[in-house]
Structure 1
């Protein structure tokens, strides 16, 4: 027996390492998408990655065999060769499946590394078993045999560990991915060449050693087929991924309609080939309430059903896009004003038809803003802005309608944007808001017993901005929470300061907002302001409106009860102006009702006088205090006093005034029983946006 000594072609050895590394890199790119995918897409990426990885491992082995020369004729068993590839792909699949779960620890990575390494080793030794050399037997060195398997497992573990790090924050870093691919290439090549070091070839026919016959044609064929498969799968996956990403980028996932990004592309086409057209901005009116009451799943189905109704209108001249939660945009090429308005009316009619969703019959409407091209804008930004402004005007006008853009809308929109920005700065830097106080007069004792805090905005450039203008903006944007904190803190301080100055003890009432109750910080805010000012809690009153109560009655009641436990009082503002206050009055934990100024201003009408008397009687029966707002005339005072309402607020007894004026007012009226009117007349607004007089 003669021991054969083979030689390596260094160039082919390097080629085998390059194949292993590149195939690993391609597989890592595919597997990196697995954890973001769901369903069949997830299985597709795992399978593709396993095929690429397995083919790369298999190709590396047989390219390594091409690099090894024994100067003996070689043949390969086809079944064993095919089995080695199946083992390689299968082990890659299992390892990737185990290590690409949502939650992955070192244990899973270790198991994955064990399976991957064992698969590489199994592929190698099955491939070696497929080799047939006439007159030659193979023997293995146990040390190198075990070492080859350990190398495969350990380096596979290191590579899979780095793969898991991509998901934790290194995804997209080329160098990190390349490092993991190199590690995996080292695992494959290290196992192969260590395994080759463990084998020795013994020839029983020395005369055959000089044979020049070389059967590498079969080996070249199968390696070429494997690499072709690897490239085909990689390129196919890349093509599918790009197509999928493009669809995700330019199609709305829920409705399948073109989205905001596709809108940008289509808009340019529209502007370049059309001389005129119309943009319709559509918003579903009741979407938020449906989401809140029936859940987001029903909300999504509503949007989907609505999108189909819009899509049914689409043609070559009309494109439909979904650009937000319940917002759609339509581009009507070549449409004039009459055609655009006709289209808007058709949309309103379609949306007005009932929606049948999960046993619910839903009736919704929509608001539509129309901008004409080129009259209302010559580019995408201006046309979008114009149609958006017109849509908000339609909402403000009562919803379920369309509005055509006009320049006045743009001016109001620009002013609103300016006020919103300036409001944020005013809250952040302070110094622009002032708290005024309007007295509440008790006709039984002839002096003021409390004040209502009303916020004023002294804008550095615009001067005094009407509360009716900035309060709604603060409500919509959430700025009202910070503004309410300022008013509450200042009111508590001032009320305590009047007492410390010897001017008497008074209550102070502060208006609240639905945003305050939604924020879940109202209780802590009130406690903080009371503790800071040292004002007794029973001297603070929070005013709520019917809209606050009906927004979430149970939650409002819970928070009011929490506040009443520490002594803070509550009042129902604008009572009688809504529809549900009467039915829920006995359920809401309040101490006072304030008669809406509408009834006071129309108290000359017999029916209104009857309502005033009824409200007073009802409040007395429920042991509630009654305050009348907006009192300006002596006849109104007489009527209210006779009806049993003794606490009166309005210009007749005092207009809203700053803290310094309050001190002068209290010095004049606070300790004397004078029934004199306070000077001035007009209309102001409080923090809740109501008029105060």
Structure 2
């Protein structure tokens, strides 16, 4: 027998190639598993080529590492055929591990098929030497090599299936598995080589016409490493791109979920908003129509919330709304929906066993809200008025149900608050009137239906000397006649119309004052009331300056009146706004003084010029000694702070005399002059002169 020898450097390289090919195969199995459709087919095809070349190269380098004391060569067609078998076997393996499941019978069949393919590749490659006489194989080692091939194939398929998903530390696991698989593949190859015996006098028939082994080893090594490196690099880059795409998709999905949540929930209380509530009501209507039953829409409005908001500021008001929402949510049933639809208004969509259950539920809501709340160290109390609309019966659409529940809520408020009321058809009249008034008010702003009346102010020491006027808003409604502010101002504040209305009043008052100024009344001032909403509006300073500039009016001819409650609601913010107005030269008056909760420390810091005594104290002056004492204290306080004192609501001569004697600077009231249009005001002033 001819004795063969090995180039151990090539043996080591064949082992490294086997390990690299195994790792590439495991990585490509992961790419196939994570791909779908055409992408999976392309990965199987490309992976089969790379993996097949890797396995075949290990085998061929191992053969090139073997040498005999005779020239050796390899038949090109048979060599290429062995390469094709390696590629087909690799494609089969990748397809097999891409299946959703790997039952035992499939694993065994796959191991036999793949083992047979690898053995065929090996022994066909050896046959490519065309040895004469033929190679004599040791039966024991021959069958052992086949067994190793099947066992290694089965292990490879099992490992590849288990490591195909991208889990933590999967690459480290694949590296360890590749080492085991590489050793098994090399073991099969060199076992098969050990089984080959070459009789004495044998010669290689492919030595002359076949491939020359002298340069073939280097070529195979370089090409194989290049192909495996490209395949592995492509797989890694694609995996990273997929992971980045997955993260981006996850981020987009999370962002979409957050945007959807924001679009459907109230930002302050995190409760569903009107949009989500309306969708839930539609679903409830469809459910009742299909399966029967009933549900109620309970419209809640907090009683006493505005005074809390005015006294403690918006921050405390917001905290109170959160506490109310949380308390109601804790007692909410899973099938019901509690929503905040704006301001201090909440709506509960409640599924009912029978209509009368709505009364029990509404009573529970009233009790829950009526208990004290601990907010920012303050014990605050509010109540709620609840309006109930039932389906079926009180409406066929969500709009009707919400409108009718709202009407019932207003009825509950009118009945004394802190209670509930079921909707009745007669309430629709009031609801329609409310909506019609809002529609008319929007048109009034653009339709020149608003007008100003002016009530004169007189010097207290001289009851006939006019020193200015207070501008009072009126609405000349085309059907309802002349409306007073208490009939529409609250509606204007709720809807935001108070801003354009307030700007119109400011501009019109300055326009009229500019006419009086041109007539020589340079010591007059025109007073304009600012609502709480208008006072907090960001454009107030600019609107005041624009009105004065538009009518070329000195700033000290304008007095802006704000209520004591408005000034104290957020004292620091009020100081900043009033400071800018004062720097402009505008006169500032604290209206309704004595009815709020002033801090003398803040009052001293306010850049006000005037205190206006509330008419409530003046009205009962002659019958209530306490009112007289309060007025005396207000006058003394104003004089101590060097402020002008104005008393309004003067209706009797005794009131006039008392207020004048106390030291009030100016008076106004029906005794001295009623609010009238500018033309009548001018005529009255001329008559006094």
Q: What TM-score, normalized by structure 1, do the two folds share?
A: 0.60
CA positional deviation for 1:556: 1.0
TM-superposition CA deviations, 1:449-507 (whole Å, max 9, x none): 10001121223444333311211111122221221111111111211212323456411
Aligned to 2:135: none
Distance in 1, Cα, partners of 2:49 & 2:374: 64
Q: 1:171-320 alignment to 2 at 5 Å? A: 204-207=75-78, 216=88, 219-220=91-92, 222-223=94-95, 226=98, 259-260=276-277, 261-271=279-289, 273-274=291-292, 278-283=296-301, 292-293=314-315, 303-311=325-333, 319-320=336-337
Contact 1:389 1:405 in 2 (8 A): yes
Q: Which runs of 5+ in 1 are unaligned?
A: 1-75, 93-118, 138-201, 673-693
TM-superposition CA deviations, 1:221-261 (whole Å, max 9, x none): 63475486999x99xx99xx89x979978996987989422
SS at match of 1:310: coil
CA positional deviation for 1:207: 4.3
Matched, 1:439 2:456: yes
Equivalent residue in structure 1 for 2:56, among 132, 146, 150: 132
Q: 1:23-38 alignment to 2 at 5 Å? A: none
Matched, 1:649 2:668: yes
Aligned to 2:531: 513
Equivalent residue in structure 1 for 2:398, among 348, 359, 380: 380
Matched, 1:473 2:491: yes
Distance 1:599 1:83, change over 3 A: same
Aligned to 1:499: 517
Matched, 1:528 2:550: no
Distance in 2, Cα, partners of 1:256 & 1:434: 42
Aligned to 2:386: 368
Aligned to 2:683: 664
Equivalent residue in structure 1 for 2:582, among 564, 574, 581: 564
SS at match of 2:331: helix
Contact 1:440 1:647 in 2 (8 A): yes
SS at match of 1:403: strand
Distance in 1, Cα, partners of 2:630 & 2:671: 22
Q: 1:445-456 alignment to 2 at 5 Å? A: 445=462, 446-456=464-474
Distance 1:204 1:376, change over 3 A: same
Aligned to 2:27: 83
Distance in 2, Cα, partners of 1:461 & 1:123: 85
Aligned to 1:616: 635
Matched, 1:635 2:654: yes
Aligned to 2:442: 424
Aligned to 2:482: 464
Distance in 1, Cα, partners of 2:373 & 2:520: 65
Distance 1:129 1:426, change over 3 A: farther
Distance 1:300 1:439, change over 3 A: closer
SS at match of 1:132: helix
Contact 2:48 2:87 in 1 (8 A): no
Contact 1:255 1:307 in 2 (8 A): no
Distance 1:402 1:247, change over 3 A: farther
Aligned to 1:188: none
CA positional deviation for 1:578: 2.7
Contact 2:571 2:602 in 1 (8 A): no
SS at match of 2:470: strand
Contact 1:274 1:334 in 2 (8 A): no
Aligned to 2:339: 322
Contact 1:135 1:204 in 2 (8 A): no
Contact 2:370 2:381 in 1 (8 A): yes
- Larger gyration radius, structure 1 or structure 2: 2
Contact 1:538 1:568 in 2 (8 A): yes
SS at match of 2:329: helix
Contact 1:87 1:123 in 2 (8 A): no
Contact 2:296 2:352 in 1 (8 A): yes
Contact 2:51 2:87 in 1 (8 A): no
CA positional deviation for 1:328: 3.7
CA positional deviation for 1:579: 3.7
Matched, 1:484 2:502: yes
How big is the alpha-carbon RMSD for the aligned residues of Structure 1 and Structure 2? 4.7
Aligned to 1:165: none
Contact 1:302 1:357 in 2 (8 A): no
TM-superposition CA deviations, 1:538-576 (whole Å, max 9, x none): 111110102211321111122112211222111111222
Q: How many residues align?
A: 495
Contact 2:455 2:469 in 1 (8 A): yes
Q: Which runs of 5+ in 2 are unaligned?
A: 1-19, 36-42, 62-72, 102-163, 166-241
Aligned to 1:410: 428
Distance in 2, Cα, partners of 1:274 & 1:135: 76
Distance in 2, Cα, partners of 1:291 & 1:89: 60
Contact 1:369 1:388 in 2 (8 A): yes
Contact 2:621 2:655 in 1 (8 A): yes
Q: 1:98-177 alignment to 2 at 5 Å? A: 127=51, 130=54, 132=56
Contact 1:368 1:402 in 2 (8 A): yes
SS at match of 1:557: helix
Aligned to 1:7: none
Distance in 1, Cα, partners of 2:376 & 2:565: 29
Distance in 2, Cα, partners of 1:638 & 1:485: 37
Distance 1:274 1:430, change over 3 A: same
Distance in 2, Cα, partners of 1:391 & 1:520: 33
Contact 1:438 1:452 in 2 (8 A): yes
Contact 2:456 2:470 in 1 (8 A): yes
Distance in 2, Cα, partners of 1:650 & 1:303: 45
Contact 2:503 2:543 in 1 (8 A): yes
Equivalent residue in structure 1 for 2:365, among 343, 347, 352: 347
Q: What TM-score, normalized by structure 2, do the two folds share?
A: 0.61
Distance in 1, Cα, partners of 2:438 & 2:466: 36
CA positional deviation for 1:302: 5.9
Distance in 1, Cα, partners of 2:547 & 2:86: 94
Distance in 1, Cα, partners of 2:553 & 2:265: 55
Distance in 1, Cα, partners of 2:313 & 2:56: 71
Distance 1:308 1:220, change over 3 A: farther
